[in-house]
Structure 1
Amino acid sequence: MPNRTFQNTKIVATLGPASDSYETMLEMVRAGVDVFRINMSHGSHEVAARQIETITKLNKDYKINIGILADLQGPKLRVGQIENNSLELQPGDILTFVNEKCVGNSEKIYMSYQQFAADVEVGEKVLVDDGKVGLEVVETNNIDCVKLKVLFGKELSSNKGVNLPDTHVSLPALTTKDIEDFDFLMTQPVNWIALSFVRSPKEIKDLKERIKRFQHQACVIAKIEKPQAVEKIEKIVKASDGIMIARGDLGVEMPIEKLPGIQKRIIALCVQYGKPVIVATQMMDSMITNPSPTRAEVTDVANAVLEGTDAVMLSGETSVGAYPVETVRAMNRIIAEAEKNYPKNHIRPYPSPKSDTFMSDVVCFNAAKTAEELGASAIIGMTAQGYTGFKISSYRSPAEIFIFSDRKEIAGMLNLVWGVRCFFYDGFNTTDETITEVLHILKSKNRIKSGQTVVFVGSMPLKTRGMTNMMKVALVE
């Protein structure tokens, strides 16, 4: 696409009223967007279908592969309506939460979580409105009524979110709304589905099985926003196809000063296991209303890039903000500058001989190593399922990564992955003929030049699926 620069670190932008027209989305793509996020918490299925249709049209019109990520709402807990929309609070006040709908006041307040009284225990903390109000459980009848003492906060407003950092919530991973949204998404060409408030690897495996039953190709992203997920992070990374560090709820549920260390650890784990990772929430938050980011936001984005994240995400900045295109453009500039200082000696753990994919992993590992030692300009891979792209990316090679696939959905999926540029290709003749053809394609797109060295990886024979067993070094003629 003309007027577009490409960075290794990808940009995910959330669609909303400020950004879901064809013209605005096109300008956002030109500014640097690689994946659009559809937030199923807001809007109808009709709105989501229209957004997905627009992305698909953009991809077709401009022969690009912008990915589509659909984000399920998950079990979001809320208080109900409050009389006059506000209840003044003082530390020491006692509030009563009930599970029967009512207009809240100083006597009682509706809580949407029906098992609240059964799940909480005396002494546990309850946080409301992104942590602006702190409460402590002082009494529960284990059925339908909980008394809480106000620890801090000045007012409680209607429909504010509730976080239970100390409580093992018994809600299922998928709510009734999530299942309805999921069934709708199975009729759409989405590449990624994000599961909210993940607590265990089993929830990821269950969602994958559900997708498999629909014979859909969507991959699953685990959103890390609960302490229980942080405790089981390595198992969750292994079970998922990708990870989103959702710092909003995570920063409410855990001490906020722990977030930077948690983010760094999760990114390192994802790179180690070859799973794409997204850093999300408040990355350029001030640009919802301002035309330029704060210095702290610039540093936040740059640090995520330097830590090795695959993607950085924009939420309200592009969905409801006043400057959606300008925000993407600013983020792209920050990424480009940060990548000039990207660590040159990236640690590449040697593939495990115990892995089922050991042969493919060794080929990809050595492709990255060979490309670096030869000063190759590109690693070119052929893939049917995307695995080659994921694995080569995880080695963070300084060479460009170009992946060819005969499945269009793979191209959109890999657009989230660090450094990967994917192209649709369904020729797959002999190995030598295919190499000649893909080199011609890349030369015609000005991605490689005559005289450059490239490293080619794939399977032999080329139509073999699920196995990368061949590496070839070639000189571009």
Structure 2
Amino acid sequence: MVSIEATAAFLKELETVSYYAKDEKQAVLSKATYLEHLSSLNITEPPHAVRKTAIICTIGPKCNTVETLACMIRNGMNVARLNFSHGDHSYHAMTIKNIREAAKVVKHENIVAIALDTKGPEIRTGMIMNSSTAEVELVKGKSIRLTTDPSFENTGNAVNLYVDYKNITNVLAPGKIIYIDDGLISLVVDEVGSDFVICTIENGGMLGSKKGVNLPGTSVDLPPVSEKDIADLLFGVEQGVDMIFASFIRNGSAVCKIREILGEKGKNIKIISKIENQEGVLNADEIIKASDGIMVARGDLGIEIPAEKVFLAQKLLIAKCNEAGKPVICATQMLESMISKPRPTRAETSDVANAVLDGADCVMLSGETAKGSYPIETIKIMHYICKEAEAAVYHSKFFEEILKRVKKPTSHVETIGVAAVSAAKSSLASAIVLCTTTGNTAAMISKFKPSVPIIAVTKNPQTARQLWLYRGVFPIYYSESEKLPDWTKDVDLRIREGINFGKEKGFIDTGDNIVVVTGWTSGAGKTNTLRLIIAD
């Protein structure tokens, strides 16, 4: 067993000890400053042997067959995202079945998580001229009347346009901006009436039916979940999904409402709150506290706040999650051009890399895989970018800064996390291998972003799938059904399974130091023992 005091010597050694990433096949001196670290980067060095940042892929018509899904898993997909803004329950049930079938044909990588992304509460326009395909041109400089009068719901035109948010007249004021259709059309409010808002068209264009409406900088009182969301969440519980990506979360109470809906049967489902408006950013602390993780949803966020502010929100939210030890996903338009092209732009590759350098645990593909022409190629490109970026992360400084923010006295799991990362660096270990029931120990070690992989062996299949949310964690589902009477022997077999996985992946060799984290007895919450062993 270890204590926080026992790690003090390790921390002192960090200032002088050289450490290396095993897969780079050479020692790399830990630089004293971030500037020194950056100036020592070498573009000719090979990347890490394994990728630590998880890849989330949105599943759509272009990639929902068993064969394509299996190929996506082999090439790096860790979490399959189902977008419930599209498709009915029968379609999503079929897709879930296909994902699970595809996972069966792949070995260690068959631990694939399934995420349900809710449509969320939203504001939309009505129909244009009683047709789902009709369009009307909104001309710059002209006036248009937005109304909540239901008599206009299906008869929208360039003069009168229905919106389905009844309280819009109470939250808007002259001078406010309204965006329609992902910001392609913008209006400026001139006058607010009892059931209408008169606007000047600032940026015009062709407008179709049922388009999304954004009110940037305006606090709205939409319900945290819609009736559709409730039905979808209950469907997800029945289907056994691993995580919920909850759309348009504005405050912590919205997360609590979703937990209430998931109920006892869905209590172990992770809730990842999507922050995609100014209110969500301003309430980030309470949302992070109430959630299991956060998604920086840059699509709507880039409409709700000025585009030039999105990178600030990204860095802010990732930093807050890193400090809290909550996983964070960076999403939207990461490799957007690959929807139709086989290679990304230089700006896109830098965007993905910088998300990794910022501290994102996962990166997400949306239309690139859901409807793109090159889903497999896109995953491969993202895989390679992440590996290169991870090799440039300044692990020592990150560890020191996170450690300074840890409140004393530490919990036993946090103490173990600090000690494991310190021991790995000081001993030049090739990996940290642990046994876990709930995944809490693996998550805590991941918080300190060690430079070596964290191999988490668990007998709980859902825990294994959910651990993809954490940077550097490689979950292994230990499916051995026979429970050995000797608990110590059983633990040793699980640790052996983890070491063998590391050998297969090429980052553990015979003779390497390995940090092992286990409990002193069986059961959840018992992890308190750290050992340093040599791989044989």
Q: Which residue of 2 aligns with 1:378?
A: 431
Matches within 5 A, 1:56-75: 56-63=100-107, 64-75=110-121
Q: Which residue of 1 aligns with 2:73?
A: 29
Shift of 1:458: 2.6
Q: TM-score, normalised by structure 1?
A: 0.93
Task: Note if 1:80 corresponds to 2:130.
Answer: no
Matches within 5 A, 1:308-457: 308-348=359-399, 349-350=402-403, 352-353=406-407, 358-425=411-478, 427=483, 432-445=488-501, 446-447=503-504, 448-457=508-517
> 2: distance between equivalents of 1:467 and 1:266?
32
Shift of 1:214: 2.8
Residue by residue over 1:256-308, the C-alpha shift from the partner in whole angstroms, topping out at 9 and shown as x without a partner, is 10111211121111111111111100011111111111111111111111112
Structure 1 runs not aligned, ≥5 long: none
> 2: distance between equivalents of 1:361 and 1:402?
17
> 1: distance between equivalents of 2:485 and 2:185?
64
Q: Which residue of 1 aligns with 2:156?
A: 104
> 2: distance between equivalents of 1:392 and 1:203?
29
Contact 2:259 2:267 in 1 (8 A): no
Shift of 1:182: 0.8
Over 3 Å counting, the alpha-carbon distance change for 1:438 and 1:449 in structure 2 is farther
Task: Note if 1:19 corresponds to 2:71.
Answer: no
Q: 94-103 or 366-375, which moves further after superposition?
A: 94-103
Residue identity matched to 2:339: I
Contact 2:272 2:291 in 1 (8 A): yes
User: Aligned with 2:517: secondary structure?
Assistant: strand
> 1: distance between equivalents of 2:487 and 2:534?
15
Over 3 Å counting, the alpha-carbon distance change for 1:214 and 1:294 in structure 2 is same
Residue identity matched to 2:519: S
User: Aligned with 1:95: secondary structure?
Assistant: strand
Contact 1:26 1:58 in 2 (8 A): yes
Q: 18-27 or 380-389, which moves further after superposition?
A: 380-389
Residue by residue over 1:453-477, the C-alpha shift from the partner in whole angstroms, topping out at 9 and shown as x without a partner, is 111113221x231243221212223
Aligned identity (percent) is: 36
Q: Which residue of 1 aligns with 2:15?
A: none
Residue by residue over 1:177-231, the C-alpha shift from the partner in whole angstroms, topping out at 9 and shown as x without a partner, is 1011111111012111011111001111221233243344210000010101111
Over 3 Å counting, the alpha-carbon distance change for 1:120 and 1:75 in structure 2 is same
Residue by residue over 1:352-372, the C-alpha shift from the partner in whole angstroms, topping out at 9 and shown as x without a partner, is 4467x7121111111111111
Matches within 5 A, 1:158-173: 158-173=209-224
2:174 to 118, 122, 125: 122
Over 3 Å counting, the alpha-carbon distance change for 1:171 and 1:72 in structure 2 is same
Q: 220-229 or 55-64, which moves further after superposition?
A: 55-64
> 1: distance between equivalents of 2:450 and 2:369?
31
Residue identity matched to 1:90: K
Contact 1:197 1:223 in 2 (8 A): yes
Over 3 Å counting, the alpha-carbon distance change for 1:6 and 1:209 in structure 2 is farther
> 1: distance between equivalents of 2:156 and 2:330?
36
Shift of 1:443: 4.3
> 2: distance between equivalents of 1:353 and 1:443?
33
Contact 2:121 2:222 in 1 (8 A): yes
2:91 to 47, 57, 76: 47
Contact 1:241 1:276 in 2 (8 A): yes
Over 3 Å counting, the alpha-carbon distance change for 1:259 and 1:371 in structure 2 is same
Contact 2:395 2:449 in 1 (8 A): no
Residue by residue over 1:409-432, the C-alpha shift from the partner in whole angstroms, topping out at 9 and shown as x without a partner, is 111111232111111236576564
Q: Which residue of 2 aligns with 1:287?
A: 338
> 1: distance between equivalents of 2:314 and 2:154?
40
Contact 1:401 1:419 in 2 (8 A): yes
Q: 243-252 or 44-53, which moves further after superposition?
A: 44-53
Residue identity matched to 1:66: V
Contact 2:352 2:385 in 1 (8 A): yes
> 1: distance between equivalents of 2:453 and 2:460?
21
Q: 183-192 or 132-141, which moves further after superposition?
A: 132-141
Over 3 Å counting, the alpha-carbon distance change for 1:354 and 1:229 in structure 2 is farther
1:145 to 192, 196, 199: 196
User: Aligned with 2:77: secondary structure?
Assistant: coil
Shift of 1:96: 3.2
Contact 1:198 1:222 in 2 (8 A): yes
Residue identity matched to 2:223: P
Task: Note if 1:206 corresponds to 2:262.
Answer: no
Q: Which residue of 1 aligns with 2:7?
A: none
Q: TM-score, normalised by structure 2?
A: 0.84
Residue identity matched to 2:289: K
Count residues with an aligned counterpart: 470
Q: 114-123 or 214-223, which moves further after superposition?
A: 114-123
Contact 1:282 1:315 in 2 (8 A): yes
Residue identity matched to 1:91: G
> 2: distance between equivalents of 1:30 and 1:217?
27
Contact 2:122 2:222 in 1 (8 A): no
Residue by residue over 1:308-351, the C-alpha shift from the partner in whole angstroms, topping out at 9 and shown as x without a partner, is 21111010110011111111111112112222222232423237
Q: Which residue of 2 aligns with 1:458?
A: 518
Shift of 1:76: 2.2
> 2: distance between equivalents of 1:441 and 1:432?
14
1:178 to 200, 206, 229: 229
Shift of 1:234: 2.0
